[in-house]
Each structure stands twice: as structure tokens, then as C-alpha cells.
Structure 1
Amino acid sequence: MQAQKVQTQKLDIAAIPVAGAAGDGMRVDIFDSMAPLEAEWRALEQDDLASFHQSYDWCAAWVETFRYPLAIVRGSFNGRTAFILPLEIIRSHGIRRAEFIGARHSNINTGLFSSEFLETAENGFSASQQAEIARALQGKADLMLLRNVPLDWRGRKSPLASMPAVENQNHAFQLPFLGAFEATLKQVNAKRRRKKFNHQSRLLNEKGGYEYVIAAPDQRDDLLDLFFRQKAVRFEAAGLPDVFQDAPTQAVLHRLLELGNKERSYAALEMHALRLKGEHEGHIPAVAALSRKGDHVICQFASIDEALVPEASPGELLFWLMIERLHREGAAVFDFGIGDQNYKRSWCPMETTQHDLILPVSGIGHAAAFAQRGMTRAKAAIKTNPQLYGLIQRLRARQSGKETSAAEAEKD
């Protein structure tokens, strides 16, 4: 990739206190390249509660593949970096939106903040500080739209929580890990959960058995390609667009397979699968991709193939095996990601509400922000009405020539 020209817009705001610290001046810089920020970016991402999706490596993979213009916001005071918001510019219907990099495939977004800023930012960004960020983005974006941001994450209030927000139509679901695996299971009915696992294992053992696979370097690309094929079948059956079908998205995900560091408990994308033995030797009925940053594990996506052994619920079995292993390895949270689906609720006692934060920048951005809030609220209303949502899913399925129910479309 050729080096990008770095352009920054610098605003000195000596009169505005940062996070309530009187006498401190705040400075906002806008960068159109990641490289100048790499050292401080990697330092900020060491925060355990900073989202994996704002890590430098994750963002670089999307930037170098899709090449959207960047508008990375860095805030600093007293010469020290306070925060980085890694944004790219997405143009749609004549509107330029500054969004988190790769947001279309993000499960949780937090931004990056220094410990010093977090300690003093109890009330988040002030109105005047938000206005300065908007001014810094003028000429580059019409609005800043930060999707899927939890206003409170694992006991920490986000500094972004003071921004204008609308609840995202999708919630996220997590399983916290307790001291003992049995205690963890008790959060979700341990007896029923273990009985189901034993039943699934018995069904597969009667057909020759199975093995839990964590893909080696020479296996992971093939396993990811298998996921693309399995998921395409599921999307088609549900009458839904395939969000993984475009070549650039697939290229990014293949690239992420190469990034990991066991010493730092970091994996950008790790492929897991259930593989059958005996009667159906070599068949893979379930695939999942996990990301890990510190003690937080996210299931980025998963797929199933119901051509064989659907009665054994191979996807559910794979989740048991992954969760059991990660508990042994010291993870603290298994995150099933966004989307309200029955299998997630069956595993998760923790439901996280996320918000979309909308900051208008230009005149047209104010109109776009109003429309965006209305559209998000409409989607949320539809998703909280099971009858209406089911009807829409069935209509989508009929349009594709299928009669797959919403439940079938979402159970993987």
C-alpha cells in the first residue's frame, strides 16, 4: 500500500476545560492516515475494556482493503493524548458519515481513551468539546455516527455517553465466567445445559464420534471459506442479503486470520469447528470464528450445515466446547455479539444495550441525523414486535422463493 499523505486540522482550545479539569487546554487533530498515530494508538488499546474493534491491527486490515478516506480524531491536553476515535468516511445518498472503521462488522465499539482521561471524564464530553470535534470534522463529514456503543461496559461509564444517542435496534449478549465452570453454568440452568450436552454427544458418538477442531495455520483459510459457503446457504434460505459475499470483506477476514499473539491473549480471528468421525468422517456441521483481546472473547460469526445430524444441534455443541475451553484458559466474558436470537438468550444471563451516537457536523448533517434517529427507532420498534418482525422475515423469505421462518433463519 502506498503511503498516504497526512493532513491534520489543529484546533487549540485553551479556554475549554477537558473532562472538568480547569486550566487544561484541549486540542483536536484530524488525521487521514493511521501510521502517525501507531505508537500512541497501540498504547491506548492496552486498556482491557477498549473494544477489540478499535485495535490498530483490526482497523488496518479494513483500511488497507477498502481504502475509505479516514478522519481519525485525536484529542489531547497538556501534550498528552486523551482519546482516539478511529473513523472512516462513508458516503451514501450524498451524505458523508464519519463512522468507526469497519463498523459494519463490529459487535461492540468503545473508542480509545487514556487512563488519565478516564479518571477525569466522569461527565463525558462537554457540549463545547463535542462542538469542537464537530468543527474539526467540517469539510470531511456531514455527521459523526458511532454505532453499537455501550454507554456502560463492564462497570465503566463511557466518556461518549454524554453525546446525543439513540438506542440501537440490536442488543448484545454475554456469558460472564465465574470461578468454577459449574458456577458459570448455573447462571443458565446448569442441569438442563449439561443434560443437553450429554444428549448431543451421545447422538454423535452413536454415529462414530466427533472432534473439536481449532484450526492450525494451514487449515484456517479453508475453514473460513467453508463458513462463507455455509452462511450463504443460510442467508439465501432466509431471504436475507449475504453480508459476507463481497470479495473485499472476505479478503479482510482472511487477513485477520494471520494476526494473533498468545502471550498477550490476543487473536484477531481464530477458526473453530466440529468435525465428525465414523459414518460421516470429515464432515464439518458447525463453524465459528472467535476474537480475543485480554479476557474478552467475541464470537464474530458462526454457521451450521444441517445436511447431516441436525438432531444433534452441532452449533450448540460447538459453543459448549468453546466456552468450556475458554473458561479453563482464564477468559472472563464470552460475548455472543449483537443480535437477539434464541440460542444466545439460552446461554446468556447478561444483555447489553448499545446506542448509536450521532453528532451533526454540517447543515445537511443535521437533517441526516434527524432521519437516522427516526430510522433506528423504527427498526427497534419492529424488532420488539415479534409478530411484525416475523411477518417481515417471512415476506423476505417468500421474495427469495423460500418459506424459511425467522426462527430458522436466526438459530445459527
Structure 2
Amino acid sequence: MAMPAAIDTRTASASARSRTSRIAGVHIAHDLSQVETVWRGLEDRQQFSTPYQRFDFLNAWQSRVGTRENLLPFIVVAHDAERRPLLLLPLVLSRKHGIRTARFMGGKHATFNMALWNRDFAAAATALDLYTLLSALHERSGADVLALHQQPKRWRDLPNPLAMLPYQTSVNVCPLLTMPPGAAPAALIGGSFRRRLRSKERKLQMLPGFRYQVAISDAEIKRLLDWFFLVKPLRMAEQKLPNVFAEQGVEDFIRDACMTPVSGGGRIIDIHALECDDEIIAIFAGVADGRRFSMMFNTYTMSASSRYSPGLILTRKIVDHYAAQGYRDLDLGVGSDGYKRFFCKSDEPIFDSFIPLSLRGKVAAAAMSAVNRTKYLVKHNQPLLQTVQKLRGVLR
């Protein structure tokens, strides 16, 4: 059988002469329950994965969104000679124009996509290991192409082994704030900006019952989400943006994830809020794993309180909240929104890979890569981006 074109033949052949891959077998499951035990074992904090690949997060997404979009679970599990799981790729399979594409579960709602890895295996993985994995998929998966978007090059203190495959920079950036242990608040958010936010916050503090909270009870979570799903469409319409939360099943998925607890406390999605006795002023929600908080969605009031930058005030409180808990990183999700740069001065390197698994897949991978590069060019060329945005406005 010919080797998948994704890995250089000379590299893999040289590796094969010196050692054998630890991957002894690859299994593909089409039902999440079949691999739940393995999955939960690999999402343990002692292993190597992001919170966006938790079983409960993606099970909620698949049952509420993926199934309605006719996406078939395509969960790849690789194991060693003693049947110990080495990695799990949480994918879904779709068919369009005769091409069967496997991509990460979670769609637009997962900021980062990764396999779940046995930590020791991830630290020592080689090109030969990836060759073995792709060879197995090439032989019997039924997929034509892997379209793997928004993968971090590193997570915590390890490189992502899938970065050994051919890749290109993702279209969108992900602004990142690094929080060194014991850093003073002013070192995380500049003193002058912090003072401006305090001045604005004093206006809000005049409102009866003004407070910041992290939602804990089911009743609090439901109340905040009810408000979010009323206000967010208004905010997105104001910005002339499509409302992704109105897509079939998305609201149910968000509600399920926000209600589901995780071991050690908290929910799959944590909700932070500013409110007073009369109204909810702003909410920001995201996933946390003990070391990093990653923003998923947010919105703020349509009332006069919006003039005091409640979103920025809430973000500052979130930064201080997680810094006090010893978190090391905080990101505000993909996208180049201006407010993110007030807090995040660097970017998380993320990449996309388009890996052919069949002859048809070679054509599809090349087309996907070309489209991706075009989007990147537009996104990172300001005059061109403005032209495209104007054209979209006219078409709307």
C-alpha cells in the first residue's frame, strides 16, 4: 500500500529502520458511548488535552447539533501492543459533493481542537507514529480527507504532535494573556487602563445591588442564559453579524454544557456576570481547566449602563479572578476584536491541516487549503478586508 502523502516518505522510512511505532492498532467508533471510558481516562489533567475535548462537552454538542446536521461520529482511538490507549481523535464525518470529510467535533464552538493524548506518548511521538495512524485511516476509515482546524501548536508545556504534519496558519488569531505566578495585578493589566476601568465601574457601583459573580446554582445559570439568548441576537443584529446561536440545536447544546458539572467543581462552561438588582449588565462564559480560562461567548446590556464599558470591566474581573487562583493563561477566543488587545498582547499560535486519505481526498485537500489561504490573505490585508466587508453589507 502506498504511504499517505501527508508525511515525507524519506523521514518515515528512516524512522522505520531505527524503531517501530508504539501504535499497534487503530479503532474507529461511531458511537460516543463505545469509547466513553477510554475518553474520560484521556481527559484526565495528568494526560494531554484541552477542555474543549471533554467527553461531556462534545457529547452535548453531538447530541444537540451534530446529529441534526447529519454528522456521523468518527472517533479514532490508537492503542499500543498492550491495548493501552495512546490517543483519541474526536471527529465527525460528513459527505458533500461525494467527498467524505472528517473534522473535529464542536464546530464553531470549540476555540481549540486537539486529540486527547496519553501524556508520555505525546511527549515522545514521532513522524513514524503519525505515519502509522494515517496509514490505518487510509486503509479502512472510509474518509477521503482530514480537515483539522484551529489546532494549538503547543498546549501547556508540550508541543502538539499533530504539528509534525503539513499545516498552514489558521485564518483567525487567538489573543492570549500569559499570567506568571504571583504577578501583580498591574503587571497583567496596565495601571492606567485599570484606573480608567475603575472610574467607569464607580458609575455602575451606584446601581442598587451592583455585583460580580460566577454562576453556581442551576437557577442562576438558567436566569443568565435566558437573558443571554434574548439580548445576544439584538447585539449581533446591531453589528450586522449572523446569529450563530440561532442555528439548530446550538441553544440546547449551550444550556446542557452550562448545566453539566465537572469533577473538582464548576461546570463544563462557567458563566461570569455583572448585574444589579434591576438588570443583568454583562456576561462572559468560557471553559476552565485549572490552568487556563478560554472565552466562548459574551454579551452586554442594551440599557444605558452599556455606556460604562461593562464588558471591559467584567473582563478585568475575570482576569483578576483566575490570576488569584493561580491560572497561567487566559484567552478571549478567536477573532481580532479590538477590545481583546486591551488585555492580550500576544497570540496563541494555531494551525490548520488538510490531510488526504484517498485519491479524491488529494483534490479536496488541495481545494480546502487554497480556500483557507485566500481567507487568510483577506483577513490579514486591511484594505482587502474592508472591501469585502463593504460588499457583504451591500449584499445584505
2:55 paired residue number: 56
Deviating 4+ runs (over 6 angstroms): 15-20
TM-score when normalising by structure 2: 0.87
Greater Cα shift, 391-400 or 154-163: 391-400
What do the CA deviations read for 1:2-36 (whole angstroms, capped 9, x no partner)? Answer: xxxxxxxxxxxxx9989975375521111111222
> Any conservation in 1 of the 2:179–2:188 contact (CA below 8 Å)?
no
The 2-side partners of 1:309 and 1:266 are apart by 29
Q: Measure the CA separation in 1 of the matches of 2:201 and 2:16.
A: 57
- 5 Å-filtered alignment, 1:154-233, equals 154-182=156-184, 185-188=186-189, 190-206=190-206, 208=208, 210-215=210-215, 216-233=217-234
Query: Where in structure 2 are the equivalents of 1:343-382 lying within 5 Å?
Result: 343-382=339-378
Q: Aligned equivalents of 2:22 and 2:44: distance in 1? A: 25
Gapped regions of structure 1 (runs ≥ 5): 1-14, 401-412
> Could you say if the C-alpha distance between residues 340 and 205 of structure 1 is closer, same or farther in structure 2, counting changes exceeding 3 Å?
same
For the residues of structure 2 that align with 1:208 and 1:222, how far apart are their CA atoms?
19
Residues 305-342 of structure 1: CA distance to partner in whole angstroms, max 9, x if unpaired?
34312331010011111221222223222221111121
1:331-410 paired onto structure 2 within 5 Å: 331-400=327-396
Can you list the C-alpha shifts for 1:368-400, whole angstroms capped at 9, x where unaligned? 111111111111111111222233234334444
Matched with 1:38 is 36
Matches within 5 A, 1:231-270: 231-261=232-262, 264=264, 267-270=267-270
Match of 1:296 in 2: 292
Question: If the length of structure 1 is used for normalisation, what is the TM-score?
Answer: 0.84
Q: CA deviation at 1:114?
A: 0.8
* 1:152 Cα deviation after fit: 2.3
| Residues 78 and 133 in structure 2, CA contact (< 8 A), matched pair in contact too | no
Segments of 5+ residues of structure 2 without an aligned counterpart are 1-12
Query: 8 Å contact 2:26–2:133 — kept in the other structure?
Result: no
1:138-193 per-residue CA deviation (whole Å, 9 max, x = no partner) reads 2xx221111100122334211101222121111112222223352x54244x2123
The residue aligned with 2:76 is 73
- Number of aligned positions between the proteins: 377
How well do the aligned residues superpose, as a CA RMSD in angstroms?
2.5
Which AA in structure 2 matches 1:57? D
Cα deviation, residue 302, structure 1: 0.8
* Identity %, equivalent residues: 25
> What is the aligned partner in structure 2 of residue 409 from structure 1?
none
Deviation at 1:43, TM superposition (A): 1.2
Greater mean deviation of Cα atoms: 129-138 or 361-370: 129-138
- Alpha-carbon offset, residue 54 of structure 1: 1.2
Q: 1:294 Cα deviation (Å)?
A: 2.5
CA gap 1:378/1:194 in 2 versus in 1, 3 angstroms: same
Give SS of 1:200's match: helix
Deviates more, 1:92-101 or 1:316-325: 92-101
Pick closer, same or farther for the CA change 1:105–1:93 going to 2, 3 Å.
farther
